[in-house]
Structure 1
Amino acid sequence: MSTPLSNKPHTEFLDTLARDTWTYLRSDRTTKNHLPYSWWSPTLSGGDYANPAEIGLYALSWLAAYDLGRSWSPSWDETNAEITAILDQLRVWQTGAQTSQPHGPNAYQNSVFYQWYWISWNPPVVGAHVGDNHLAPSVDNAWLAAALMTIREYAAAHNHTTLVQKAEAILADMDFRLWYHPDSHRFSWGDVENPQGGTLADYYSNENRIINVVARALGHLSAEEFRQSLDALEGPSGNYSGVTVEKMAWDGSYFTYAAPALFIREVDTSYGRNTLIPATQAQIAYAQNQSYAAWGLSDCYDVGDGGYVQQGAPPVPAGVVPETRPGLVTPHAAGLALITPLATEAITNLQALSATFPCLYTQDYGFRDAVMARSGDASYGRCSDRYSALAQEWLFLGLVNHETGFIWRYFYRHPGVLQAHIEMYGGAHVYLPLILRNRGP
């Protein structure tokens, strides 16, 4: 009889979790045309669409899985073929070379990408609903660009010239000044056929700070514009249960603090010490004070067939209610917390989730998106019917960064990234592990 997941030593547990999460990410059932379902369910239909963030992190997950070098890892030939297919699809959308455009151009002005693509079409195309699909989202394009920059630097380090050229071509035509407002020094989130539309990014600890870094690293902002863009972001301080978070996120959703840190090496900076780590501690304290069976409050799908909801933990600004569904917990939050010094607490939490809620974890695909962890709720112990691509990618990449620093190792090979980091944190020391091996052919 195999050892229960929750009883395995931490190293063995993480390897099992990585293997099972990767099984989901590479499954034919959860992907189509080399692209990930935004969500997949064994009982619900739909989910066969993807946005730029999900696509970029999916391509990066292939590279991360290969680099781990496990018995279950894909071969280089498989990895190269998959990433090449993804980059080729992005490029034909971007350039307009794909003749199939039933809902109009598949990219905005041959530069950046729209919100949603129908991946089960052959070939995949931008969605038909103008309000949802013809919006060019700044933050999702920033996640895509960060993933492409990491892929490009990995390929350059290991002499995969064709991958370098393909990633470079896409990045060269992406223009982040489309969303930049020189008067306020802020980026907009984007609107339908109008990147300058939509609301302006406001809080430093919302996920939008990845845009500032990517725009500077790619040379779209000058050093002075970059400084002004960071200064323009608000960072109100908050306190919960004796824990002070120096720069609060608007709604306390954990991914907004931690997901950018998958790329930006923030843990050893003032932001990490005074915001990211305390925000993790506040998450844990809040769940304990509420008597939840586990912690992990971050945007996710509700239980059963419920839709996507905002979830966060205090501290939050006055008047903001952090939880839409009190007690709805998602494993990806603890997965992201693996990159912090509270990794042991994160592992223990993930083990508790798998042990306490039988519906939440399967050997086939790892964690479902969420579970109700508040014992007084009528849905206590009920899980989401969905698996989420974004959550699985965050969890998997958090695992890999925890073990090897994979993303940081290659993202920071980009000279623009290193320069942006120095400008962002006043010359703070950046620890960059050496690349000691070449696993490519």
Structure 2
Amino acid sequence: MRKAVLSCVLSTALVATPAAHAHADAPQRHDGRFSAADLATMRRYAADTWRSMRAMVDPRTGVPADKVTGDLRTRARVTSPTNIAAYVWSTLVARDLHLIGGSEAVLRIGRVLTALEKMTRDTPTGQYYNWYDPATLELVRVWPDNGDQVKPFASSVDNAWLAAALMMLREATPAHAARADRLARSMNFAAYYDAAARPDAGTGLLRGGFWPDRPDGCSIETDYAGTGVKVYSTCHTYGAPAETRIATYVGIALGQLPREHYFGIYRTFPDSGCDWAWQEQKPVGSWKRYLGVNVWQGTYGYRGMRYVPNWGGSMFEELMPDLVVPEAAWAPKSWGRNHPVFVRAQIEHGLAEAKYGYWGFSPSNDPHGGYREYGVDPLGMDAAGYTSDKERTGTDPGYEGCRPAQPEPASYGDGVVTPHAAFLALPYAGRRALDNLAALKRNFDSYGRGGFYDAVAVRSGVVSTYHLALDQGMVMAALGNVLARDNLRRYFGGAEVEARLRPVMELEEWDVVDTTTDRG
């Protein structure tokens, strides 16, 4: 089973369409202008990637599968809310890049909305469950690959990605705006909110999700947002600034979560004796106050850079929400500073430290089998971390006074690079991202009729010849934002969303810095 990547802390802790107008204050984030040849290359990538997205769609229901084989012939027999969201915004990108016509986009999105209106979901909260059969829209209760039992589970993050896609439709497709708005507003994200998760800060955090029936393993019996209906919630809440923040954005934008919750999420865990010494490294920072919430404004260090880490050190944790929410424009002194440094650190690791010759580390299909979390260990808060190679070569800089440092690795093993990570970096290192992708395409059997395959083990040359809806959806979103003038950010960031979300995000300032010289 491909598992959702959870960034968590335990409870203890082309040509634009006529409507395409860029944010007036959106910064130019790519490193230099793209040439005509670059633009043509990216349009070709988009056309091929759309072919794989289209191949994932089940003709009986109009919704995508979780993945498809590289020959575009065999679809997975499961899908998720995030997969459906990725297909919805990919359809918008395909329309805006004139890969399909407007009437076809309306038809495709209409079929998705009809499916969503039929699918079983949690009645009190309107939340969808994690796995459905794309051919029948029925809940998956037995995993088709191995016969394991699947208990219905509602994920805060998966539902947030779906809600974000529906919120885009309010701006992007007038023909479906009312239907999409009804579905989005029917999803209650307050059901995940644990108001007591940060008593030290006076605000709460979001739980990972809930089961309607008691699962095996750890769960907490909770009340659905004061409705009196009991469910079984995850024992963790999301406390790290990873891709899970999309649920925070959506909940605040829909008026369902307090603004203060945004500042309840840790930037790093505090520097307070050895209480937090299990985190990757000792942070440097100071306390600041926003909307009455005390925030430890900490940063980590890596090879001349200071940055706010995410949970595992992966690219999609850092940059997937940036595909939808205009973080660099709305949070120019926090996320707008952090994203280019984080991208630079991934490049530094791949080229200068591990010396793979390639970069871009993020959860993906594993070329050696299954699905696995890849990242750059020092860029994540989790001491165990996501690693960049099959061998799980990690680092431990220690924690002064609490945990001794360990020797740096003498070498790294079979690094696993995923193309979607380079696409995510396009706004912040455009020339280097395109060069990296060109090298992957040239030097490995990594590209097919449906675009880039999911991952490459760069020393053994083994390639995962699958296309995943999530990862191809990130590719389409990144290309749409470059070639169609931030189209997805504009669609999500309508007037109502901007009025609620931007004033919160723009308050914060992070002490992020990059003093490196180019060693790549």
**TMscore range, shorter length:** 0.7 to 0.9
Q: What is the correspondence of 1:187-226 to structure 2 with a 5 Å cutoff?
A: 187-193=206-212, 194=231, 196-204=233-241, 206-221=242-257, 225-226=258-259
For residues 318 and 208 of structure 1, the distance between their equivalents in structure 2, rounded to whole angstroms, comes to 15
Can you list the C-alpha shifts for 1:264-290, whole angstroms capped at 9, x where unaligned? 111241223432111100000000121
* 1:145 counterpart residue number: 163
CA separation of 1:31 and 1:367: change in aligned 2, threshold 3 A: farther
Gaps of 5+ in 1: 1-6, 94-104, 429-441
Question: Relative to structure 1, is the Cα distance of residues 33 and 216 closer, same or farther in structure 2, using a 3 angstrom cutoff?
Answer: same
Distance, in Å, in 2 between the alignment partners of 1:335 and 1:260 is 14
Report SS of the residue matched to 2:301: strand
- The answer to whether residue 204 in structure 2 is matched with residue 118 in structure 1 is no
**What's the offset of the Cα at 1:366?**
0.3
In structure 2, the CA distance between the partners of 1:320 and 1:110, relative to structure 1 (3 Å rule), is closer
- Of residues 337, 345, 356, the one that matches 1:282 is 345
Q: Which has more strand, going by share of residues?
A: 2
Query: What amino acid sits opposite 1:281 in the alignment?
Result: R
Deviations 1:81-123 (A, max 9, x none): 1101101111122xxxxxxxxxxx44454601000111123xx
Q: 1: CA distance between counterparts of 2:109 and 2:176? A: 8
Aligned to 1:394: 474
Give the distance between the partners of 2:471 and 2:211, measured in 1 at CA.
26
Q: How far did residue 234 of structure 1 move?
A: 3.7
Q: Deviations over 1:158-199 (max 9, x none)?
A: xx2x40111011112100001001112100011322473341
**Could you tell me which residue of structure 2 aligns to residue 164 of structure 1?**
177
Letter in 2 for 1:354: K
Larger Rg: 2
Alignment partner of 1:182 out of 179, 195, 206: 195
CA RMSD of aligned residues (A): 2.3
Give the SS at the match of 2:236: coil
Partner of 2:62: 34
Q: 2:401 maps to which residue?
A: none
- Give the whole-Å Cα distance in 1 for the aligned partners of 2:304 and 2:456: 28
TM-score normalised by L of structure 1: 0.82
1: CA distance between counterparts of 2:462 and 2:266?
Answer: 38
Residue number in structure 2 paired with 1:337: 425
Where does residue 319 of structure 2 map in the other structure? Answer: 258
Give 2:274's aligned residue.
none
Which among 299, 302, 321 is matched to residue 363 of structure 2? 299
Q: Is the 8 A contact 2:78 2:131 kept in 1?
A: yes
AA at the equivalent of 2:207: S
Alignment counterpart, residue 15 of structure 1, candidates 40, 43, 66: 43
Query: Contact between 1:265 and 1:408, CA under 8 Å: does it hold in 2?
Result: yes
The AA in structure 2 aligned to 1:336 is L
- CA shift digits 1:223-279 (9 cap, x unpaired): xx222342343435222211221x201110110100000111112412234321111
Aligned to 2:14: none
CA distance in 2, matches of 1:413, 1:299: 30
After superposition, the C-alpha distances for 1:110-147 in whole angstroms (9 at most, x for unaligned) are 601000111123xx211114964510000010011111
Q: Is 1:405 matched with 2:499?
A: no
In structure 2, distance between residues paired with 1:85 and 1:45: 21
Instruction: Tell me the distance in 2 between the aligned counterparts of 1:187 and 1:29.
Output: 32
Change (3 A) 1:125 1:414: farther
| Secondary structure of 2:185 counterpart | helix
The structure whose RCO (Cα within 8 Å, separation 6+) is larger is 2
Cα displacement string for residues 348-370 of structure 1 (whole angstroms, at most 9, x for unaligned residues): 1111111111x2101x1001100
Counterpart of 2:419, as a letter, is: P
Q: CA deviation at 1:419?
A: 2.4
What is the CA-CA distance between 1:47 and the residue it aligns to?
1.8
- What is the CA–CA distance in structure 2 between the aligned matches of 1:15 and 1:45, rounded to whole Å? 26
Which one is further off, 14-23 or 29-38? 29-38
Checking the alignment, whether the CA contact within 8 Å between 2:249 and 2:501 is kept in structure 1 is yes
Q: Which moved more, 1:278-287 or 1:190-199?
A: 190-199
In the TM superposition, residue 342 of structure 1 has moved relative to its aligned partner by 1.1
Match of 1:312 in 2: 375
Alpha-carbon distance in 2 for matches of 1:25, 1:198: 35
Structure 2: gaps (5+ residues) = 1-34, 143-147, 198-203, 213-230, 269-297, 391-413, 510-520
Contact (CA 8 Å) 1:108, 1:136: kept in 2 or not? no
Q: Would you say 1:241 and 2:303 are equivalent positions?
A: yes
Contact 1:180/1:196 (8 A) holds in 2: no
Q: CA deviation at 1:414?
A: 3.9
Residue number in structure 2 paired with 1:349:
436
Matches of 1:152 and 1:387 in 2, distance apart? Answer: 28
Following superposition, the deviation at residue 401 of structure 1 comes to 0.5
Call closer, same or farther: CA 1:421–1:29 in 2, change over 3 Å. closer
Q: Count residues with an aligned counterpart.
A: 387
Q: CA deviation at 1:402?
A: 1.4
Identical positions, percent: 27
